[in-house]
Amino acid sequence: MPHRSTIRRGALILALALATGVACAAGPSREHFHFGADLSYVNEMEDCGVVYREGGQPKDAYALFREHGTNLVRVRLWNDARWTRYSDLADVKETIRRAHAQGMQVLLDFHYSDDWADGDKQIVPKAWADISDTADLARTLYNYTYDVLMALDRSGLMPELVQVGNETNPPLLAQAPWDKHAPTDWQRNAALFNAGIRAVRDAGAKASLQPKVMLHIAQPENVAPWFAAMTAQGVTDFDLIGISYYRKWSSQTEQGLADTIRAMRKAYPQAGVMVVETAYPWTLEAADTHHNLLGKDALVDGYPATPDGQLRYLVDLTQTIIDAGGNGIVYWEPAWTTSACKTRWGRGSAWENATFFDFRHGNELLPGIGYMRHEYRWPAQATP
């Protein structure tokens, strides 16, 4: 957790930005807005026998998303996840290959862990666990990031965007789950992030394209304090600010999210701002015994857990992001539907009620995906 002084500094940035308005010269446009989908589960789901359908007919998942407006595919990468054969470099290459074949850009999400890294934990990879010196750990992170990106480039698979870490609210490369009451060593954190950023820049300088760099924080209320602390330590070379926004886990309404986007655009005019993870349930039913993560506690007044409720929520959320000057929205795991396969937590999926596929009707496409093709008000038309 940031020091109180850091939180006050972040709150001051937010207040000043809201008072003075947004300083960016140009707002978002449909041509440059990211309509994204995290498809990290698709390859695994297909191996588990999942078939995605539209109008009753089987469809290639990547082609289906592209046809419905997706222009960015997000994919996660774990260092050495021995508990699964997915989300390693070979699986990531397959995802990027399929996304690029459909003309979609790619956001590569480095977790810098052998397992899920998120807003509660950032566990150092086992192979790096004995490295206690910060400079040595930074060099290791740099070399790993650089080597992965150059390997992708040699295969013609360089991603257009790169996340240096996933939901990095806790200190990067920690030894144990985050103690929210313990102070963060911001100097150590900055050294690690700058090493990752530098690796992306150096790889891009030698590659077929130069990826943009994203830093990613979970829930809008945590964004301003974190960036205030990190920029104070010299972490300034980033192109995009990524925010996870799940109403279930956030204290902020959509208005609070909009305020944060405006504030961050003002405070860091060199960077775009995206909601890089979000989701909403279309039903409260389950297709398996695997507990669904989004239940009644994930619902927002006025948006029932129905196919139409999911669509309307996403349309309104996207318009809020556009009006605030945001650069994109990425839906998390819209294809992680139920299957015969097991996870460590149960058989099937913990997310089938928040996908874009109806498990009651053979994974028929749901209307929620239609938010990407919706006719939004763009800045020249939007009301103040």
Which of the residues are catalytic? 167, 277
Task: Tell me the two tokens of residue 190.
Answer: 């900055």
Any idea which residue has 């330590």 for tokens? Answer: 233
Tell me 270's DSSP state.
T
Any idea which residue has 């994203």 for tokens? Answer: 214
Are residues 183 and 135 in contact, defined by beta-carbon separation less than 8 angstroms? no
How many whole angstroms separate alpha carbon 160 and alpha carbon 210?
7
Smallest Cα–Cα separation from 217: which of 231, 209, 206, 227? 227
Angle at 69 between CA 256 and CA 217, to 5 degrees: 35
Task: Tell me the two tokens of residue 348.
Answer: 């099937």
End-to-end Cα separation, the chain, in angstroms: 35
Smallest Cα–Cα separation from 27: which of 323, 285, 342, 288? 323
Tell me 104's DSSP state.
-
Are residues 21 and 28 in contact, defined by beta-carbon separation less than 8 angstroms? no
Smallest Cα–Cα separation from 307: which of 245, 247, 349, 356? 356
Task: Tell me the two tokens of residue 49.
Answer: 């026998």
Smallest Cα–Cα separation from 22: which of 271, 247, 194? 271
Smallest Cα–Cα separation from 59: which of 290, 371, 357, 376? 357
